[in-house]
């Protein structure tokens, strides 16, 4: 059966919600992310609204660079950027509301991330599906006071690419027979699954667009890239995607990380912060549907960005009363990296993380 799949992605989601929360921010360039500390901050940009994107600011850009771009804009007489920390409660609440709106119109919805949703409209003809998408867009605008972009197509891949094509506040329908013309001119990076590394391998072969990518056979791509990636990308370049909508994606891990303001070597500072962070992660586990977890992994990133993981799987799973045991075990894993046992050059620590997984319900 032919499918009709929608993909909805909120426009500059975190920044749009901040703009909505504070009326005086309206129309101003906004960046949500780490503290820029007048150019000395060490984190990255979570997102920038479209006004701030005009300055060249994007997700994942170092926050110090975003600060410089804002300063440059200020010198040119433009508005300076408003930098804000993230407020996940606000974003999660809105995400839930949006999900409930989409669910009113489709009985099969998959949440792809905090701000994107796939939904199945195959029970309708295309005209009706189009009208439903318009209603969803309108309802989000009225109820949530922010905009989204929707793509409609014969599968998840095409719907997602179409949603990203006319941002912000976009709506694009791609029919089966339009797929080829739609995909051909697009840069290869548009294909979900082609990241920096894969793209670079392809750029080196002078492959820049999907049309150029399609000159290579499946076998050739399997040789050039990893076998599975090669086949995956061969199919995606032709708009072929049979993946179903997965309504309930199980959470597989609960994790978090802290980046220190300055790289640190002081064992007291590191362990204090880390144990406090362990408690936060443990509380997220206690508030989840899971009763127990079996595997604990810690991650350490040194000042030279070398990153190491170390973990333990318990014979007897840990439960909601085992915070002391968790702290003991994380320290046992961490301490060798703070002295010469596993850190012979005594490098400073930049980041540490913790992950709980292997859950029992
Ligand atoms: P995106 O949908 O990728 O970005 P966006 O909604 O901000 O902008 P667009 O209009 O292009 O869709 O991500 C959703 C949210 O996830 C985003 O608002 C912030 C967060 N995020 C990060 O924290 N870090 C990242 O690197 C990215 C890409 C997103
Ligand atoms: Mg988005």
pLDDT band at 305 (very low <50, low <70, confident <90, very high): confident
284: helix, strand or coil: helix
pLDDT in the model for residue 308: 94
pLDDT band at 322 (very low <50, low <70, confident <90, very high): very high
The CATH number linked to 153 is: 3.30.70.270
* Number of neighbours of residue 132 by Cβ within 10 angstroms: 21
**Same domain for 157 and 191:** no
Measured in angstroms, how far is the CA atom of residue 343 from the centroid of ligand 2? 40
**Same domain for 111 and 9:** yes
pLDDT in the model for residue 100: 95
**What percent of the chain is predicted at pLDDT more than 70?**
99
Q: Does residue 303 lie within any of the structural domains?
A: yes
Measured in angstroms, how far is the CA atom of residue 46 from the centroid of ligand 1? 7
The CATH number linked to 260 is: 3.30.1490.100
The CATH number linked to 42 is: 3.40.1170.60
**Same domain for 167 and 56:** no
The CATH number linked to 213 is: 1.10.150.20
**Same domain for 196 and 162:** no
**Same domain for 150 and 9:** yes
Residue with tokens 């994606």: 249
In this structure, the strands spanning 116-120 and 30-33 are: unpaired
Q: Does residue 242 lie within any of the structural domains?
A: no
Point out the domain boundary residue: 84, 114, 137.
84
Whose C-alpha lies nearest to ligand 1, atom 23?
46
DSSP H/E element including 244? none
**Same domain for 314 and 269:** yes
pLDDT at 288 over 90: no
pLDDT in the model for residue 302: 94
Q: Does residue 246 lie within any of the structural domains?
A: no
**Same domain for 131 and 71:** no
Measured in angstroms, how far is the CA atom of residue 326 from the centroid of ligand 2? 36
pLDDT at 125 over 80: yes
Residues 42/49, Cβ–Cβ less than 8 Å? no
CA neighbor of 60 nearest in space, from 164, 156, 194, 196:
196
Domain count for the chain, please give it.
Answer: 4
Active site residue 176: no
268 lines ligand 1 (CB under 6 A): no
Q: Does residue 245 lie within any of the structural domains?
A: no
Q: Does residue 202 lie within any of the structural domains?
A: yes
**Same domain for 10 and 117:** yes
Q: Which residues, in sequence order, are bridge partners of residue 10?
A: 148
Q: Does residue 77 lie within any of the structural domains?
A: yes
pLDDT at 250 over 80: no
DSSP H/E element including 298? strand 292-302
Point out the domain boundary residue: 56, 84, 112.
84
**What average pLDDT does the chain have?**
95
Residues 77/71, Cβ–Cβ less than 8 Å? no
pLDDT band at 252 (very low <50, low <70, confident <90, very high): confident
Q: What's the rounded mean pLDDT across residues 345-361?
A: 93
* Number of neighbours of residue 144 by Cβ within 10 angstroms: 19
**Same domain for 337 and 314:** yes
pLDDT, tens digit (0-9, with 9 covering 90-100), for 67-104: 999 999 999 999 999 999 988 889 989 999 999 999 99
Residue 358 DSSP symbol? E
DSSP string, 88-138: HHHHHHHHHHHHHHHHHH-S-EEEEETTEEEEE-TTS-HHHHHHHHHHHHH
* Number of neighbours of residue 303 by Cβ within 10 angstroms: 15
110, 116, 130, 144: the catalytic one is 116
Point out the domain boundary residue: 48, 69, 84.
84
Q: Does residue 51 lie within any of the structural domains?
A: yes
**What percent of the chain is predicted at pLDDT more than 90?**
89
Q: Which atom of ligand 1 is closest in space to residue 86's alpha carbon?
A: 23
Q: What are the φ and ψ backbone dihedral angles of 290, each rounded to 5 degrees? A: -85, 145
pLDDT in the model for residue 179: 98
The separation between the first and the last C-alpha atoms of the chain, rounded to the nearest angstrom, is 36
Whose C-alpha lies nearest to ligand 1, atom 24?
46
pLDDT at 106 over 90: yes
CA neighbor of 16 nearest in space, from 161, 111, 149:
149
Q: What are the φ and ψ backbone dihedral angles of 350, each rounded to 5 degrees? A: -100, -45
**Same domain for 128 and 143:** yes
Q: Does residue 244 lie within any of the structural domains?
A: no
59 lines ligand 1 (CB under 6 A): yes
Measured in angstroms, how far is the CA atom of residue 17 from the centroid of ligand 1? 12
Q: Considering Cα of 175, then 177, then 178, then 183, what sign does the dihedral take?
A: positive
**Same domain for 260 and 230:** no
pLDDT, tens digit (0-9, with 9 covering 90-100), for 203-226: 999 999 999 999 999 999 999 998
Residue 9 DSSP symbol? E
**Same domain for 101 and 57:** no
Domain interval for residue 70: 20-84
Q: Which residues, in sequence order, are bridge partners of residue 313?
A: 295
47 lines ligand 1 (CB under 6 A): yes
């Amino acid at each position: 059966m032919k499918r009709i799949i929608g993909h909805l992605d909120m426009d500059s989601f975190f920044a749009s919600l901040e703009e909505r929360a504070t009326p005086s921010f309206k129309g101003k360039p906004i960046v949500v992310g780490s503290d820029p500390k007048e150019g000395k901050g060490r984190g990255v940009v979570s997102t920038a609204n479209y006004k701030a994107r005009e300055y060249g600011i994007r997700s994942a850009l170092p926050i110090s660079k975003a600060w410089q771009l804002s300063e440059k804009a200020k010198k040119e007489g433009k508005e300076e950027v408003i930098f804000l920390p993230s407020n996940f409660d606000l974003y999660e609440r809105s995400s839930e509301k949006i999900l409930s709106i989409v669910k009113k119109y489709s009985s099969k919805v998959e949440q792809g991330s905090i701000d994107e949703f796939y939904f199945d409209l195959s029970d309708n003809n295309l005209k009706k599906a189009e009208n439903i998408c318009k209603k969803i867009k309108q309802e989000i605008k009225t109820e949530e006071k922010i905009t989204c972009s929707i793509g409609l197509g014969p599968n998840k891949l095409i719907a997602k690419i179409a949603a990203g094509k006319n941002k912000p506040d976009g709506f694009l329908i791609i029919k089966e027979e339009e797929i080829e013309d739609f995909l051909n001119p697009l840069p290869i990076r548009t294909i979900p699954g082609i990241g920096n590394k894969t793209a670079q391998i392809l750029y080196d072969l002078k492959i820049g667009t999907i049309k150029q990518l399609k000159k290579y056979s499946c076998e050739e791509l399997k040789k050039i890239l990893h076998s599975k990636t090669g086949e995956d990308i061969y199919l995606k370049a032709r708009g072929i995607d049979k993946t179903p909508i997965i309504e309930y994606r199980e959470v597989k891990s609960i994790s978090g990380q802290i980046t220190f303001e300055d790289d640190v070597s002081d064992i007291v500072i590191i362990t204090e912060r880390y144990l406090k962070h362990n408690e936060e992660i443990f509380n997220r586990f206690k508030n989840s549907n899971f009763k127990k977890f079996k595997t604990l992994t810690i991650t350490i990133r040194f000042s030279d960005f070398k990153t190491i993981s170390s973990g333990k799987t318990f014979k007897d799973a840990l439960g909601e009363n085992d915070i002391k045991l968790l702290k003991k075990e994380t320290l046992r894993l961490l301490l060798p990296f703070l002295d010469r046992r596993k850190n012979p050059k005594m490098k400073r620590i930049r980041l540490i993380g913790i992950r709980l997984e292997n859950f029992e319900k």
